[in-house]
Amino acid sequence: MGFFLEVLIGGLMTGMLYSLVALGFVLIFKASGVFNFAQGAMVLFAALAMARFSEWIPGWLGIANPVVANILAFIIAAFIMFLVAWLIERLVLRHLVNQEGATLLMATLGIAYFIDGLGQTVFGSDIYKIDVGMPKEPVMVLQDVFAGGLLINKEDFIAALVAALLVAALALFFQKTSTGRALRAVADDHQAAQSIGIPLNRIWVIVWTVAGIVALVAGIIWGSKMGVQFSLVTVALRALPVVILGGLTSVPGAIIGGLIIGVGEKMSEVYLGPLVGGGIEIWFAYMLALVFLLFRPQGLFGEKIIDRV
């Protein structure tokens, strides 16, 4: 029982991180109809920027305090993500308005290649460290309830907490600010939004920036867990079944989907994996999403697609 709970908690916490990456997908898809495959590359790029600047800043400015260095690095990295968003809007999106989904998808793959190359050229391709002071050692709780106790990873716990906070902040931003309302209006109907005077291009930059900052936070959490390295781009692949399960256009869907996929993945690997030789978690997540789609083709919370002839 204790072990089951550990797997469950482990799954939930991993799922929270998946949600964070999935959120990036959903935000951009909602606002610009682009299925952004470059999300993984953005996570890597943001994490690389964060890692390298927090390493360089103490040397440049003579600040020994790691907290200040980290905060400065975060600000710089966020600014870089804004620049990336602005450039993408300027150079790519603006020219691809009204293209088909597949074309846009390919364009983001092209962007992903570019960012991968650029990130490694500017920041290097070694393994880098992000140290934001997350505790690494596990703690044991509830030892009197279960034999052997429950092992909880504090780092995962904090990461999940940060992810939850970010999601809450985004929800507030979308619901309560005027920019957020404009964003939702664009998401609903581009042309109607434009006709009432919402500047589409600016909205896109904002959305991509927000997605960039979400990528940065995801990158920091993953990076502090396992080091910043090229392989971070693969976390995007882990988050894809999440978006499919949750629905491409739904923020709550990304979160619930993330939790379901996280738990499903870990449970399948731990309990079913040994029966078939292990290593099944990645395709199991996709299969789970696929089976789910057969019953609800638009995802858990996605909008129902109505076709007219």
Partner 1 sequence: MIYRENGQFKTSYAADQQIFPILQDRWAILGILVFAFVAVPLLADEYLFRAILIPFLILSLAALGVNLLVGYCGQITLGAGAFMAVGAYAAYNFFVRVDDMPLLAALLLGGATSAAVGVVFGVPSLRVRGLYLAVATLAAQFFWDWAFLRIKWFTNDSSSGSVSVSNLSAFGWDLESPTDVYLFCLLILVVFALLAKNMTRGAIGRQWMAIRDMDVAAEVIGIRPMYAKLSAFAVSSFFLGVAGGLWGFVHLGAWEPAAFSLDRSFQLLFMVIIGGLGSIMGSFFGAAFIVILPIFLNQMLPWLGDLVGVSISTAGVSHAEIMIFGALIVFFLIVEPHGIARLWSTAKEKLRLWPFPH
Partner 2 sequence: MKLRKYALAVSLAAMGLSFTLTAPVHAQAKGKQAQEQFFPVLVYRTGAYAPNGTPWANGFVDYIKLVNAKGGINGVTATFEECETGYATDRSVECYERLKNKGGGATAFQSLSTGATFALTEKAPVDKIPLITAGYGRSESANGAVFTWNFPLLGTYWVGADVLIQHLAKKEGGFDKLKGKKIALVYHDSPYGKEPIALLQERAKMHGFDLSLLPVAHPGVEQKATWLQVRQNRPDYVLLWGWGVMNSTALREAQATGYPREKMYGIWWAGAEPDVKDVGEAAKGYNALTLQHGVELNAKVTKDVLALVHGKGQGTGPKDEVGSVLYMRGLISAMLGIEGVKQAQERYGKGKTMTGEQVRWGLENLDLTQQKLDGLGFAGVMRPVSTSCLDHMGSSWVRVHTWNGSKWEFSSDWYQADEKIIRPMVMHASLKYAEEKKITPRTPEQCKQ
How many of the chain's residues bind partner 1 (CB under 8 A)?
50
Pick the closer one to partner 1 by CB: 20 or 289: 289
Spatial CA neighbour of 299 closest among 236, 253, 237, 233: 253
- 214 forms part of the interface with partner 1 (CB under 8 A): no
* DSSP designation for 176: H
Binding residue for partner 1, selected from 7, 72, 118, 171, defined by CB under 8 A? 118
Shortest distance, position 290 Cβ to partner 2, whole Å: 18
Query: How far from 309 is each of 98, 264, 303, 304, 306, CA to CA, in Å?
Result: 20, 39, 19, 16, 10
Only one of the segments 69-77, 118-126, 161-169, 219-227 lies at the binding site for partner 1 (rule: CB under 8 A); that segment is 118-126
CA 253 to the chain's CA centroid: 13
Binding residue for partner 1, selected from 67, 110, 148, 173, defined by CB under 8 A? 110
- 276 forms part of the interface with partner 1 (CB under 8 A): yes
Query: How far from 284 is each of 152, 229, 240, 274, CA to CA, in Å?
Result: 25, 25, 13, 14
- 244 forms part of the interface with partner 1 (CB under 8 A): yes
Distance from C-alpha of 108 to C-alpha of 106, rounded to nearest angstrom: 5
Distance from C-alpha of 278 to C-alpha of 92, rounded to nearest angstrom: 42
Spatial CA neighbour of 104 closest among 195, 45, 29: 29
Shortest distance, position 67 Cβ to partner 2, whole Å: 19
Shortest distance, position 81 Cβ to partner 1, whole Å: 18
Number of Cβ within 10 Å of residue 231's Cβ equals: 13
Shortest distance, position 178 Cβ to partner 2, whole Å: 40
Tokens, residue 211:
């997605």
Residue 104 near residue 34, CB atoms below 8 Å: yes
Written as one letter, the residue type at 77 is A
Residue 79 near residue 5, CB atoms below 8 Å: no
Shortest distance, position 287 Cβ to partner 1, whole Å: 5
Residue 38 near residue 232, CB atoms below 8 Å: no
Applying CB under 8 A, the residues found at the interface with partner 2 are 3, 6-7, 10, 14, 120, 125-129, 136-138, 151, 153, 155-156, 222, 225-227, 229-232, 234-235, 238, 265-266, 269-270, 273-274, 277-279, 281-282
- 270 forms part of the interface with partner 1 (CB under 8 A): no
- 266 binding partner (options partner 1, partner 2, none; Cβ < 5 to 8 Å by kind): partner 2
Shortest distance, position 148 Cβ to partner 1, whole Å: 31
Binding residue for partner 1, selected from 241, 258, 262, 264, defined by CB under 8 A? 241
- 225 binding partner (options partner 1, partner 2, none; Cβ < 5 to 8 Å by kind): partner 2
Pick the closer one to partner 1 by CB: 120 or 179: 120
DSSP string, 205-271: HHHHHHHHHHHHHHHHHHHHHH-B-GGGGGHHHHHHHHHHHH-TT-HHHHHHHHHHHHHHHHHIIII
- 304 forms part of the interface with partner 1 (CB under 8 A): no
> Using CB under 8 A as the criterion, which residues of the chain lie in contact with partner 1 when the complex forms?
35, 91-92, 95-96, 99-103, 105-107, 109-118, 120-121, 125, 237, 240-241, 243-244, 248, 276-280, 282-283, 286-287, 289-290, 293-294, 297-299, 307, 309
